[in-house]
């Protein structure tokens, strides 16, 4: 689906850059970031023009971007990537501490893991100001800006103060917590005011919208129009809506149908058949929001309560270490590895290994091929804004044979109604849903996955971006009108 920015002046602002330059033994490696935002917005900017502003985090980013600017893509460049360079002190305070040890766990309702400090917030504010100044210097008169996520919560208001002529949309990708939790952030009022600098403020689900409106009402004492999703801040009008993010299902279908990935998929299925097992896959970063240890507890319960499934299902877990500079993340990964080994020791026999663990990333085409080959996917997040893994698994299932088991605490669960939903903190419930999924008929499997695939065809990543850009353009035209 084509997405058109009628103004041709869109500036995208993200923490993570779409193209990264890394030093390597043979020179410089040019990498493209993965994820739905890049896959949707990079082609838009290539086609319509504009610019991208992001943190220049790559080890070779400075030398490939004289003056902080690099034309991208590296081959046949179409638009400028403006890199904001941060000092080690700023990375520690803005990214590691305030964003990822403060806002991230609080938004996922994990109070015991949340740490805030005034020093870290000072650096968070400083970096947001850096972004705002860079964008203010770049944006054309009456231009449009699309900024993203919890790293840049202060950015919309800062940009509004510098450039009141610019139309701003901001999308918050992670959950927005209930106000009783959000108020634990010592700077909750400043975070909320920062976001109110936007004209269009997007969230994943209606519940996130409702929670944010409550934060405005109770935290800032500003009236809100819940029926229309509108907040009037002086003369400034903020529209707050849910825009559920999605995937490019057509691209995934094409990817899993290429000869190379067909061979990869066939090889996985053959190995599973040779061992007389079905394959259940999970793909996660080693983050405590993903329910890794709780999932292993449930799998243990599943094999204990339903012994007829032993030697018939193998759980293949792709779990990649992340944020390894933080001790809590390293400890979580070690606990996950130990718990997986205990399940293998407890139940494995006669050539059957219940748990298989891959600790490295798999490139996207082969990952989609793995999803196509799998009989089941298990998504056990404790709390997730959306969880695109669930939608990617459904999209890859062009043979209509896979079964999705999905935590009810994900945004995706509100859309993918034919998945087997479960409470990720109830191991008996997870075990029961695994059993139900294992015994359903092929006809029920096909009906469920077809229904979910139809939904994703009707709600793609391009539908997501089209809605936001159209709403943003409507606002931009009002700024341009005398």
CA–CA dist 426, 467 (Å, integer): 37
Confidence bin at 482 (pLDDT 50/70/90) = low
Residues 391/456, Cβ–Cβ less than 8 Å: yes
Phi-psi region of 325 (alpha: psi -120 to 50; beta: other; left: phi over 0): alpha
Domain CATH for 330: 3.40.50.2000
Q: Is the pLDDT of residue 39 over 90?
A: no
- Domain match, 112 and 182 both: yes
CA–CA dist 156, 178 (Å, integer): 22
Q: Tell me: the pLDDT tens digits for 327-342?
A: 888 899 999 999 999 9
Q: Per the structure block, which two tokens stand in for 112?
A: 């015991």
CA–CA dist 142, 73 (Å, integer): 26
- Domain match, 264 and 409 both: yes
Q: Is the pLDDT of residue 122 over 80?
A: yes
- Domain match, 306 and 271 both: yes
In the 8-state DSSP scheme, what is residue 138?
A: H
Number of Cα atoms under 13 Å in the Cβ half of residue 206: 6
pLDDT score of 325: 76
- Domain match, 47 and 175 both: yes
CA–CA dist 456, 427 (Å, integer): 29
- Domain match, 311 and 414 both: yes
- The parent domain of residue 431 ranges over 249-458
- Domain match, 228 and 253 both: no
pTM of the model: 0.94
The verdict on residue 91 lying in a domain is yes
Q: How many domains does one find in the chain?
A: 2
Average pLDDT over all residues of the chain: 94
Which has the minimum average pLDDT: 82-86, 277-281, 329-333? 329-333
Q: Per the structure block, which two tokens stand in for 466?
A: 């089209």
| E strand intervals along 206-254 | 224-225, 230-233, 236-242
Q: Is the pLDDT of residue 1 over 60?
A: no
Q: In the predicted model, what is the mean pLDDT of residues 276-303?
A: 96
SS3 281: strand
Phi, psi of 285, deg, nearest 5: -80, 155
């Amino acid at each position: 689906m084509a997405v058109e920015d009628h103004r041709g002046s869109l500036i995208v602002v993200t923490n993570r850059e779409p193209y990264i330059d890394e030093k390597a033994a043979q020179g410089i490696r040019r990498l493209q970031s993965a994820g739905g935002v890049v896959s949707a917005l990079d082609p838009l900017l290539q086609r319509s023009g504009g610019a991208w502003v992001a943190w220049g985090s790559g080890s070779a980013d400075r030398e490939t971007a004289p003056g902080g600017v690099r034309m991208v893509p590296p081959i046949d460049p179409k638009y400028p990537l403006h890199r904001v360079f941060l000092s080690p002190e700023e990375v520690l305070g803005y990214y590691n501490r305030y964003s990822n040890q403060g806002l991230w766990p609080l938004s996922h309702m994990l109070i015991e893991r949340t740490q805030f400090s005034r020093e870290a917030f000072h650096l968070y504010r400083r970096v947001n100001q850096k972004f705002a100044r860079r964008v203010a210097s770049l944006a054309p008169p009456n231009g449009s800006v699309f900024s993203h996520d919890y790293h840049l919560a202060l950015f919309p208001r800062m940009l509004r103060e510098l450039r009141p002529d610019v139309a701003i949309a901001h999308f918050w990708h992670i959950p927005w917590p209930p106000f009783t939790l959000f108020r634990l952030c010592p700077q909750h009022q400043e975070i909320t005011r920062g976001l109110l600098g936007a004209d269009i403020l997007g969230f994943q689900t209606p519940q996130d919208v409702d929670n944010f409106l409550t934060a405005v009402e109770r935290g800032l004492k500003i009236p809100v129009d819940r029926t229309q999703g509108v907040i009037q801040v002086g003369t400034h009008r903020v529209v707050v809506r849910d825009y559920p993010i999605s995937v490019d299902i057509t691209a995934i279908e094409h990817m899993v149908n290429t000869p190379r990935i067909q061979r990869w998929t066939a090889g996985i299925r053959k190995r599973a058949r040779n061992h007389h097992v079905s394959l259940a896959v999970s793909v996660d970063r080693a983050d405590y929001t993903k329910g890794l240890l709780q999932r292993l507890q449930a799998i243990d319960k599943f094999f204990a309560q339903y012994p007829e499934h032993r030697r018939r299902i193998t759980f293949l877990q792709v779990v990649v270490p992340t944020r390894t500079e933080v001790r809590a993340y390293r400890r979580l990964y070690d606990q996950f590895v130990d718990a997986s080994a205990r399940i293998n020791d407890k139940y494995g026999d006669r050539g059957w290994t219940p748990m298989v663990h891959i600790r490295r990333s798999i490139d996207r085409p082969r990952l989609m091929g793995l999803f196509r080959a799998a009989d089941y996917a298990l998504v056990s997040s404790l709390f997730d804004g959306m969880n695109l893994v669930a939608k990617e698994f459904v999209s890859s299932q062009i043979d209509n044979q896979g079964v999705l088991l999905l935590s009810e605490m994900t945004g995706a669960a509100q859309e993918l109604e034919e998945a087997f939903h479960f409470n990720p903190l109830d191991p008996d419930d997870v075990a029961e849903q695994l059993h139900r999924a294992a015994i359903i008929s092929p006809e029920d499997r096909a009906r469920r996955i077809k229904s979910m695939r139809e939904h994703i065809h009707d709600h793609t990543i391009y539908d997501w971006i089209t809605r936001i850009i159209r709403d943003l353009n409507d606002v931009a035209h009002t700024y341009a009108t005398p």
